[in-house]
Amino acid sequence: MSSVGIDQISFYTSNYFLDLRTLAQLQSTDPEKFYQGIGQEKMGMAAHDEDIVTMAANAAYPLVQNGEGEQISTVLFATETGIDQSKAAGVYVHRLLGLSNNCRVVELKQACYSATAAVQMACALVARQPGKKVLVVASDVARYDLNTPGEATQGCGAVAMMVTAQPRILSIDPEVGSYTEDVMDFWRPNYRKTALVDGKYSTKIYLKALKKSWEHFRESSSLSFNDFSHFCYHLPFSRMAQKAHQHLARVNKSELTAAELEQQIADTLSYNRIIGNSYTASMYIGLSSLLENCGNNLAGKRIGFFSYGSGCVAEFFSGTVVEGYQDVLFQAQHQAMLDKRQEVSYDEYLNLYEAPDPKDGETHTIEADTQGRFRLAAISHHKREYVVI
């Protein structure tokens, strides 16, 4: 069977961020707790006219702008910041991107894991119809209550990946290690805008799920820890990946030094440190970060992936970077987007924190603010109105 995997990858985050030094000052906390202790520096804050739909469309636009959307059979939209109990957010994205009416669209949910479910399902669809492409988008706004330990781990972002046969970036291996357990480490009931979390417990369950997924992966894969050059972990905050990687190294009795272990994940963390948690998108923004920031040629290198979704479902899988991958990255566009972001004050942060959520049927127009190509222009008669700028 020909290889299947990621042919293109692009991400988007909002144009605003709060520096965690500002939060530390307000909370009379040592900023090093955030910068070093959890490994985060800034967190993205969506403008009022941005949401999971506009971020996803912005992430996906470079992948379809030259009529390249023609062969897309399916759009899989992964999120845990759903905007509707019924209609899939991807249907709005489908229209904003001008995709074919013969393309199916569906939304997937299982906390931060669902983007990986989407990637695996996309690989299966493409294996069945190798001439077709599947667009996977993952988009989230991470929100916790103010003045809680989770507040410093907020963020927002979206990633878009085109999954095809003979991919130009990453060929994904068929073997997976899965782990599911019914736990309450992080959840968000339908009536809440912010997540509830048992923070310390969630980090323990993450590590347990890593070990269990890895053990299950090893039952079907001949690959061992030493076959991997780099590892991409789900990134709720970058220190979590460092702890996870040290844990996996211990499980495997690895003889690599601390510096060598750090080198295997360091480049995956750069974007997350300044974007914050983007839930479903975060591990794949980590992959972008690795591909775009690693000084060495990664072609032919094996990457290990650990995807974790609270609740919990986790998966370990692997892929090999394809020769010439550098030619299809959107590195310059990503850097330009990150460079033009604006820092907000604490008061501005509080304002952005309250996303528009009118519950009456009146017409609420939303002031133009985003630097992106797509915006939420109004909520009218309970309908969200998206426009191309």
Residues that bind ligand CAA (CB under 6 A): 30, 32-33, 36-38, 112, 149-150, 152-153, 185-186, 197, 199-200, 202-203, 206, 234, 236-237, 240, 277, 279, 308, 310
Contact present, 34 and 24 (Cβ < 8 Å): yes
Cβ distance 194 to 355 under 8 Å? no
Say how far apart CA 133 and CA 112 lie, in whole Å: 23
Give the separation between CA 210 and CA 204, rounded to whole angstroms: 10
Q: Which residues, in sequence order, are CB contacts of 208 under 8 Å at separation 6+?
A: none
Closest separation in Å from C-beta 185 to ligand CAA? 6
30 annotated ligand binder: yes
**Cβ neighbours around 90 below 10 Å, total:** 31
Catalytic residue among 80, 151, 292, 315: 80
Question: What SS3 class is residue 158?
Answer: strand
> Please, which residue, 246 or 252, has the CB nearer to ligand CAA?
246
Question: What's the closest the beta carbon of residue 52 comes to ligand CAA, in angstroms?
Answer: 15
- Check whether 277 is labelled as a binding-site residue: yes
* Least distance from ligand CAA to the Cβ atom of residue 310, Å: 4
State the nearest-atom distance from the C-beta of 9 to ligand CAA, in Å. 20
Q: Is 234 considered catalytic here? A: yes
Contacts of 212 (CB under 8 A, 6+ apart): 177, 179, 314
**Starting from the edge strand earliest in sequence, which strands make up the sheet with 155-165, in order?**
104-108, 72-78, 133-142, 155-165, 4-12, 170-180, 313-321, 302-309, 230-233
Which of 234, 292, 312, 315 does the annotation list as catalytic?
Answer: 234
Going through 40-86 in order, the beta strands assigned E by DSSP cover 42-45, 72-78
Give the shortest CB-207-to-ligand CAA separation in angstroms: 9
Residue 336 CB, shortest distance to ligand CAA, in Å, is 27
- In the complex with ligand CAA, which residue's Cβ is closer, 199 or 356? 199
Q: What is the largest CA-CA distance in the chain?
A: 63
Residue (71 or 203) nearer to ligand CAA, CB? 203
**Pairing relationship of beta strands 104-108 and 72-78 according to DSSP bridges:** parallel
Q: Answer yes or no: 354 catalytic.
A: no
Is 267 among the annotated ligand-binding positions? Answer: no
Q: Which is nearer to ligand CAA, 16 or 34 (CB)?
A: 34
- What lies within 8 Å, CB to CB, of 318 at 6+ separation is 172, 173, 175, 217, 221, 223, 228, 302, 303, 304, 305
Is residue 112 part of the annotated active site? The answer reads yes
For ligand CAA, which is the closer residue by CB, 38 or 172? 38
CA distance 318 to 314: 14
Which backbone phi and psi does 166 adopt, to 5 degrees? 45, 55
> The tokens of 166 are what?
């003979």
Closer to ligand CAA by Cβ: residue 49 or 140: 140
**Residue 173 annotated as part of some ligand binding site:** no
Annotated binding residues, written as ranges, equal: 30, 144, 243, 277
Annotated binding residues for (3S)-3-hydroxy-3-methylglutaryl-CoA, written as ranges, equal: 30, 144, 243, 277
Active site residue ranges: 80, 112, 234
